[in-house]
Structure 1
Amino acid sequence: MFIHLRLCFGKLGLLVITVCLLALSHTWAQSTQKPVIHAKDWLAITGKPLAATAGAMTFQKGGNAVDAACTMLAATCTMWDVLSWGGETQALIYNPHSKKVIAINALGVAPTGATADFFKEKELKYPPSYGPLAATTPGTMGGLLTMLAEFGTLSLEEVLAPAIEMAEGYPIEAQTANAIERDKEMIKEWPYSKKVFLPHLGEKREAPHAGEIFSQPDLQATLQKLVDTEKEALARGKDRKDAIYAAYDRFYKGDIAEEMVRSVQEQEGLFTMEDLANWKVKIEEPLYVNYKGIDVYKLQEWTQGPALLQSLNILENFDLKAMGYNSANYIHTVYQAMNLAFADRDFYYGDPDFEPQSPMEGLLSKQYAKERAKLIGEHNDPWANPGDPYPFQGGENPYKDQIAEYSKVYFKYNEDISDEVSDSFLEEFTSGTTSIEAADKEGWVVSITPSGGWIPAVVAGNTGIGLSQRMQSFVTDELVNPFNIVEPGKRPRVTLTPTLALKDGKPYLAFAVQGGDTQDQNLLQFFLNIVEFGMNVQQAAEAANMNSYQMQASFGNHETKPGAMTLPSETPSWVRRELRSKGYRMDFRDRTSGPINAIWFDWEHGTMWGGSSNHGEDYGIGW
């Protein structure tokens, strides 16, 4: 029927197909596997049910959304929900009193001695994915303590209570237990990791069993030391904030820091006491763009977050709604917009505290986006280069000659990269962390994407702290990215990317997702599902997306797969044919949305709508 109409009626036939697609997708989107979480007073959503429960307990104590988010962060770290206490934390916070969005940068830095030459001498193109040399300085603890001190209301003792109880022993989930068993040979390479993760050494299964009580006495002792330090400071007359910062100092300058450094250097890692003492959490101004009356906020260019903002700027030049949800034209247009934005990400993004400075004013210019949008043709462009944003901020591009041949130079530099989209590539490319969303009736809203220290992790001595693996996101050659070359004290450009959106000056959406380089792809499509296609927050979280692998992966060997995309299994045959004719190579999976967690604010009724993914163990509780 569709082919007959197309042959007989030409453009009219195409219109009929688009209308049918819209009707089918709209009908499909009405049914969700999980319900919307409706709440009036508060919402707590994260990657594990026990951690969401910890957030709910904090709200019940009278804490605000920042307190609850910190409690959930502590719980997820303790549960090894693809992160640990030695990883990194990135957050956006809406302050209802200042009516501003605040950015929290708690990403660790490259340690002393971590230079491009150091890794090249080891015959490595990039820093390693695992082991002591993959570790940046720990950031999550500092991020939690800073958020709590500056914007929370409860004590550290109250916020850490669930995590301390869990460190004493909690029933471990199958997902984490099986990950330990799968990676146990690597875990055995690091003595302190073996001590934490493998309670059944010598048995057939050396990892904990699902549901077994998993105890971490070293971590419990570390967390208790921080609470004790807070109590001692309060007893000396310090106020709440200073008492929390006293715990901060003990972690980064005291006996906990000494044990972390001792054990890291014993295991041939690099960071020093000075590295820990000199590192600071940064409270920053976020970046944002306006899309059709909605201000969308992301962290600065030390994350991939601005790529979503660039994509929105480009897509504003197209009538996406008329194309139809997940039509071939829609998928192609979104893919190409991301293609152009990620080409800029791969070359221009890096730590803004170091030279050269990323040209963010130009990259986020609406006029620059119009010029990039003109590059979107009828077929996939596998050689999309970074653009030239410098004229859009009144400057001249010092890398003009380099970017002209950038894609081909990158492939030559990485000539051993395979074109195959293998299971191992997908696992690395989409490797997840967790996300945390919290909001309360006072108006505080928090969106966090913490990560680092995932299994298999190097544990820092007798602290129970698992170390980050984020060094692998650096590069060592300016041909790949002159803004993200590894050097001591520098933050790597990371994938981690929470999001907040305001409409009419009030919170509209808080949303985040795990999934490596697919994060801003899934978040972009989630946002468009709501804004362009009228889905509610749960429908948008579950709705089928497309994932591209045409950008450089931020992990391992930084691979790229031009023209490759993952689509939902139910993608119609005619959409597949059209995309194939446009130059795409497709694979198909049952779930493609990624585990998105989100909160939508219903100002008409004074309530909050929570969406929690039907994919994985993500869970939300509201009241």
Structure 2
Amino acid sequence: MKQLLSLFFILAFTLSAFAQQTQKPVLHGKNWMAITGKPLAATAGAMTFQKGGNAVDAACAMLAATSTMWDVLSWGGETQALIYNPKTKKVIAINALGVAPTGATPKFFKSKGYNFPPENGPLAATTPGTPGGLLYMLANYGTLSLEQVLAPAMEMAAGYPIEAQTANSFEKNKDLLKQWPYSKKVFLTHPGEKREAPEAGEIFVQKDLLQTLTKMVEAERAALKKGMSRKDAIMAAYDRFYKGDIAEEFVRGSKEQGGLITMKDLANWKPIEEEPLKVTYRGVDVYKLQQWTQGPSMLQALNILENFDLKSMGYNSSKYIHTIYQAMNLSFADRDFYYGDPYFAPQEPMKGLLSKDYAKQRARLIQYEKNDPNIGPGDPYPFEGKKNPYLKLLKKRGFEMDTTKRNFAPTHDTRNGSSSIEEYQDRLWRGTTTVEAADKDGWVVSITPSGGWTPAVIAGNTGIGMSQRMQSFVLDPTLNPFNVVEPGKRPRVTLTPSMALKDGKPYLSFAVQGGDTQDQNLLQFFLNVVEFGMNVQQASEAANINTNQLWLSLGGTKTEDRKPKPGQILLHDSTPEAVRNELKKMGYIMSFDDRTSGPINAIYFDWQHGSFWGGSSNHGEDYGIGW
């Protein structure tokens, strides 16, 4: 009788989840779709489409606008993108992640008492990647001029009505911001008053940033006057940013405040166009960026989950939740040890990690009756015909799995170490942002830009906030021999845009903010659509689970700050009592909230009707416009 009652509750929960009215409507369009983290930035995308631009132009305009609005990123951060090119019918990847500067070594950071590079300040900064990524994408795959694409962002830099979320973030972090003179000048517009940050709705002006953007446009104009091509003119703006007077002021301002970045660091850095990684899940090709991101962990989880009949388990039943949780733990354990910059030795064993046979081996480790707190990295090397050179190192990795010392939140700041759900929810909303764009000609863009969030160090009089991405490196090779900090190297980041093709055509383009939770949320979003038939809005609003049985990629400079919390799980408030009781018996330590995912943005391609379906999460400030 008890089993029948449990099944009834699970079925009722599943049916209600499918049948409920979404809190935001699905977006529909047949010509284009523009979705991002701020309403004004979505408008910038729409304006660019109305100028005749394609999805790449619109995505670049939204990227520029969100960076100008400090939507938990700025111009000095990093950009990572997937683009579907309808001319070649292929997905390409853009790696516009900055690198560790000259002098950034384990010895340097250890000498300052760190176990990881710092969370904030000039020593947290990699070289800026977003300007180079934007210019590269626009030059090679866009159609409009830089001046046309930057027009909305430049108008906003001249003054726009700031929203409460960002303005309040300035105020919360004002003590830190006061340590850096150029940040203080830009962010604290009412010095000495009780509230020193702007108020919501106040016109927020960024004169220095406007001057920097103007210099880039001037470089393009001058190049065009000399008869250069559109592409070469845009790259002239690139050269002025990374090699010219903008670079000189950036480096001067960074060094003045204790930063390491040099002119040579900026000149040597370049965005890279790459082949994405891919797996096929039940006939759907899923694409992610390479192992310098955490993206392949979702691909690994899909390979593992393909060995189970998830649909028959029921959406968010205890068995489904347990299986998803275990699969994510297995893939994140591999992420934490094997992922890093592919352009530096040693070479990551990605062929083995993404092998279907390796996934079957990992799937057999899942214990059906309880959570396994001791899940660790596997050995993918035999699945690519090699011997694992790190077996001895893995044995040294026996850190105590202390469940009491680490904040559950994917930390993006240093305000406090509280494990409250309020702090967790705040950080989910603040994690990064996403940009999704598609057009009737077949171009599709998915971007997860980030870095330079508040509290950011502004580099001199550039108006450019410096990245904080150095904190995602490790100093101890025992933690991850592939991700040890080194000058010129990219840290392994959490940022992870996604794209899926079915029958050789775009099927889904999707991304989310939220640190280490990103590929957890995106995995479940994808399964909601593919396994449970939800539309993109239902799937973006649906209840997620979050595991914290992983090494945090952000937050804290001590090893104990980042250790896994085995069995920690975040569940939605609506989780039935029967499911809660069953999970408790399995050894889970449960937390609950009505928000269990960062804001997911997505586009579904309806080939039957020749239209787009847009989804944008029902919390945070993410917003979309379609036509």
Q: TM-score, normalised by structure 1?
A: 0.96
Q: CA deviation at 1:74?
A: 0.3
Change (3 A) 1:538 1:424: closer
Q: Which residue of 1 aligns with 2:346?
A: 356
Asked whether the 8 Å contact 1:410–1:479 carries over to 2, the reply is no
Q: Which residue of 1 aligns with 2:18?
A: 26
Deviations 1:509-546 (A, max 9, x none): 00000000000000000000000000001000000110
Q: CA deviation at 1:13?
A: 6.2
| Pairing 1:57-456 to 2, within 5 Å after superposition | 57-377=47-367, 378-404=369-395, 406=397, 408-409=398-399, 411=401, 417=406, 421-422=419-420, 426=424, 430=428, 431-456=430-455
Q: CA deviation at 1:415?
A: 10
Separation (CA, whole Å) in 2 of partners of 1:332 and 1:405: 29
Deviations 1:565-591 (A, max 9, x none): 111111111111111111110111011
Secondary structure of the residue aligned to 1:90 is strand
Secondary structure of the residue aligned to 1:556 is coil
Q: CA deviation at 1:410?
A: 6.5
Q: CA deviation at 1:19?
A: 3.7
Secondary structure of the residue aligned to 1:409 is coil
Asked whether the 8 Å contact 2:102–2:265 carries over to 1, the reply is yes
Q: Which residue of 2 aligns with 1:603?
A: 607
Q: CA deviation at 1:207?
A: 0.1
- Say if 2:598 is the partner of 1:594: yes
Q: For residue 533 of structure 1, what is the amino acid of its counterpart?
A: F
Deviations 1:408-429 (A, max 9, x none): 33659x9965788445873697
Asked whether the 8 Å contact 2:425–2:595 carries over to 1, the reply is no
Separation (CA, whole Å) in 2 of partners of 1:415 and 1:539: 35
Q: For residue 188 of structure 2, what is the amino acid of its counterpart?
A: L
Asked whether the 8 Å contact 2:371–2:586 carries over to 1, the reply is yes
Separation (CA, whole Å) in 1 of partners of 2:299 and 2:434: 20
Separation (CA, whole Å) in 2 of partners of 1:45 and 1:234: 31
Secondary structure of the residue aligned to 1:175 is helix
Q: For residue 604 of structure 1, what is the amino acid of its counterpart?
A: Q
Q: TM-score, normalised by structure 2?
A: 0.95
Separation (CA, whole Å) in 2 of partners of 1:16 and 1:576: 14
Q: For residue 307 of structure 1, what is the amino acid of its counterpart?
A: S
Secondary structure of the residue aligned to 2:260 is coil
Asked whether the 8 Å contact 1:275–1:489 carries over to 2, the reply is yes
Change (3 A) 1:37 1:417: closer
- Say if 2:482 is the partner of 1:478: no
Separation (CA, whole Å) in 2 of partners of 1:575 and 1:302: 37
**Candidates 572, 597, 602, aligned match of 2:576:** 572
Q: For residue 431 of structure 2, what is the amino acid of its counterpart?
A: G
- Say if 2:505 is the partner of 1:488: no
Separation (CA, whole Å) in 1 of partners of 2:6 and 2:426: 38
Deviations 1:67-120 (A, max 9, x none): 000000000000000000000000000000000001000000000000001001
Separation (CA, whole Å) in 2 of partners of 1:91 and 1:35: 26
In the alignment of these two chains, the number of paired residues is 611
Deviations 1:493-516 (A, max 9, x none): 000000000000000000000000
Deviations 1:441-468 (A, max 9, x none): 0000000000000000000100000000
Secondary structure of the residue aligned to 2:336 is helix
Asked whether the 8 Å contact 1:44–1:56 carries over to 2, the reply is yes
Asked whether the 8 Å contact 1:126–1:556 carries over to 2, the reply is no
Q: CA deviation at 1:382?
A: 1.3
| Pairing 1:436-585 to 2, within 5 Å after superposition | 436-557=435-556, 558-585=562-589
Separation (CA, whole Å) in 2 of partners of 1:472 and 1:416: 19
Deviations 1:351-393 (A, max 9, x none): 0011111100000000000000000012111111100000000
Q: For residue 343 of structure 1, what is the amino acid of its counterpart?
A: A
Q: CA deviation at 1:201?
A: 0.2
Change (3 A) 1:424 1:615: closer
Secondary structure of the residue aligned to 2:170 is helix
* Structure 1: unaligned runs, 5 residues or longer: 7-11
Q: For residue 73 of structure 1, what is the amino acid of its counterpart?
A: L
Q: Which residue of 2 aligns with 1:9?
A: none
Q: CA deviation at 1:27?
A: 2.6
Change (3 A) 1:417 1:60: closer
Q: For residue 170 of structure 1, what is the amino acid of its counterpart?
A: Y
Deviations 1:140-190 (A, max 9, x none): 000000000000000000000000000000000000000000000000000
- Poorly superposed stretches of 4+, deviation over 6 Å: none
Q: For residue 534 of structure 1, what is the amino acid of its counterpart?
A: G
Change (3 A) 1:405 1:332: farther
Separation (CA, whole Å) in 2 of partners of 1:602 and 1:148: 27
* Structure 2: unaligned runs, 5 residues or longer: 409-417, 557-561
Asked whether the 8 Å contact 1:429–1:555 carries over to 2, the reply is no
Taking only aligned residues, the RMSD between alpha carbons, in angstroms, comes to 1.6
Separation (CA, whole Å) in 2 of partners of 1:366 and 1:615: 36
Asked whether the 8 Å contact 2:373–2:566 carries over to 1, the reply is yes
Separation (CA, whole Å) in 2 of partners of 1:403 and 1:519: 26
Q: For residue 352 of structure 1, what is the amino acid of its counterpart?
A: P
Change (3 A) 1:428 1:495: farther
Q: For residue 387 of structure 1, what is the amino acid of its counterpart?
A: G
| The 10-residue stretch of structure 1 (550-559 or 168-177) with the greater mean CA deviation from structure 2 | 550-559
Asked whether the 8 Å contact 2:458–2:466 carries over to 1, the reply is yes
Separation (CA, whole Å) in 2 of partners of 1:385 and 1:498: 26
Asked whether the 8 Å contact 1:18–1:323 carries over to 2, the reply is no
Asked whether the 8 Å contact 2:103–2:487 carries over to 1, the reply is yes
Q: CA deviation at 1:14?
A: 6.0
Secondary structure of the residue aligned to 2:399 is helix
Q: For residue 59 of structure 1, what is the amino acid of its counterpart?
A: F
Deviations 1:28-80 (A, max 9, x none): 3xx10000101000000000000000000000000000000000000000000
Separation (CA, whole Å) in 2 of partners of 1:426 and 1:480: 25
Q: For residue 613 of structure 2, what is the amino acid of its counterpart?
A: W
Q: Which residue of 2 aligns with 1:47?
A: 37
| The 10-residue stretch of structure 1 (128-137 or 587-596) with the greater mean CA deviation from structure 2 | 587-596
Separation (CA, whole Å) in 1 of partners of 2:95 and 2:610: 31
Q: CA deviation at 1:15?
A: 5.2
Provide the identity percentage.
Answer: 70
**Candidates 21, 27, 41, aligned match of 1:37:** 27
Separation (CA, whole Å) in 2 of partners of 1:273 and 1:496: 26
Separation (CA, whole Å) in 1 of partners of 2:176 and 2:15: 50
Q: Which residue of 1 aligns with 2:413?
A: none
Asked whether the 8 Å contact 1:409–1:479 carries over to 2, the reply is no
Separation (CA, whole Å) in 1 of partners of 2:225 and 2:346: 47
Change (3 A) 1:440 1:417: closer
Asked whether the 8 Å contact 1:304–1:520 carries over to 2, the reply is yes
Change (3 A) 1:353 1:334: same
Q: Which residue of 1 aligns with 2:411?
A: none
Separation (CA, whole Å) in 2 of partners of 1:159 and 1:227: 10
Separation (CA, whole Å) in 1 of partners of 2:180 and 2:599: 31
Q: CA deviation at 1:20?
A: 3.8
Change (3 A) 1:89 1:35: same
